[in-house]
Amino acid sequence: MLSYVIKRVLGVIPVLLCVSMLVFGFLRMIPGDPALTMLGERATPENIARVREQLGLNKPLHEQYLIFLGNALRGDLGRSILRQEPVTQEVLRRFPATIELALAAMLIALIVGIPAGVISAVRRGSWFDAASMLVALTGVSMPIFWLGLMMIFFFSVVLHILPTGGRLDAGTSFMPITNLVLLDTLLRGNIPLFFQALRHLALPALALATIPMAIIARMTRSAMLEVLNQDYIRTAHAKGLKGSTVVIRHALRNAWLPIITVIGLQVGRLLSGAILTETVFSWPGIGRWLVDAIYSRDYPIVQGVTLFIAIIFVGVNLSVDILYALVDPRIRFD
């Protein structure tokens, strides 16, 4: 098992190097000069040249990349060009908001998606199967930004039961501990503030959960249908075992591998920053911050956040590979 894990970890290194090179190269292709953005349109050529020298933008591209890579290996992702704030510090401050939103969305997707997929497979061809797969297809096809805006209009503008965005009501004074607001409110024993944070989380989490919920439901149904047709399932039924026992202990247990794959990919995507959802609901996570940085051509933020996102995504996939080996020991001996 240890050798399997080591091989998987070593395989991650070239992936991250390629990602860092691609991000660095593509950003340099974006039209515009960060020094001009920082100084404004009335900046003199002398001031622009001075700022470019301070930022290292006048050096050859390979030297800029090596400097960026060396600093990243030490945990230094640079400083924001516009605000002069350390990127690493800001990532660590904003990422808990993305974690909170992603975990809430994934919890909703799992609670709804897996049972829906299992029931659809067991009752194949029924009205529930048709309805759930229609909803799943709609969830996959529906644009997140449109769904988010419609939810805001219905639940906030028409019904006035949920807030439009943010993590807490405007003007609320709260000193966070971990920047995970739900956890922090419980740690401080502030139950009213916990429910306020939960109300703010409800709409973005539900909007973000639609796509993973639909994908998980469809994959669960597909995996279960394949397993339910196996001989050992028919044998279990012939022995007189309960239907629920056969489905949960025998069928679902053997259908886990493709379901784990989908869950892992969706967790990585959600933790990597739900850019559209965070933008629509004014959620202060790394996704919304990345969009603002792209508009302002703030290279260090875009480079640092993109590399951080790649590390998160690769780390989640690595965890799924290791979980594979634990669930099915045959994999580690392939």
pLDDT in tens, 280-322: 888 888 888 888 887 777 777 888 888 888 888 888 878 877 7
Smallest CA-to-CA distance from 112 within 136, 91, 94 is with 136
Confidence of residue 108 (pLDDT cuts 50, 70, 90): very high
**Nearest in space to 95 (alpha carbons), one of 326, 309, 314:** 309
List the domain boundaries for the chain.
Answer: 95-333
Quote the pLDDT of residue 124: 86
- Would you say the C-alpha torsion 111, 114, 117, 123 has a positive or negative sign? negative
Q: What is the pLDDT of residue 32?
A: 66
Is the model's pLDDT at 1 over the cut of 70? Answer: no
Mean pLDDT (whole number) for 86-100: 87
| Average confidence score pLDDT of the chain | 81
Taking the C-alpha atoms of residue 60 and residue 299, their distance in angstroms, rounded to an integer, is 16
Decide which of 209 and 67 is more confident: 209
| Of residues 74 and 29, more confidently modeled | 74
- Arithmetic mean of pLDDT, 227-244: 78
Q: What is the pLDDT of residue 89?
A: 86
Q: What is the pLDDT of residue 247?
A: 80
Please say if the pLDDT value at position 129 is more than 60: yes
CB-based contact 173:289 (threshold 8 Å): no
- How many other β-carbons are positioned within 10 Å of the β-carbon of residue 149? 14
pLDDT at res. 37: 65
3.40.47.10, 1.20.1050.10, 1.10.3720.10, 2.40.160.20: which CATH number matches 95-333? 1.10.3720.10
Share of the chain above pLDDT 90, in %: 5
Average pLDDT over residues 86-96: 86
What distance in Å separates the CA atoms of residue 95 and residue 88, rounded to the nearest whole number? 10
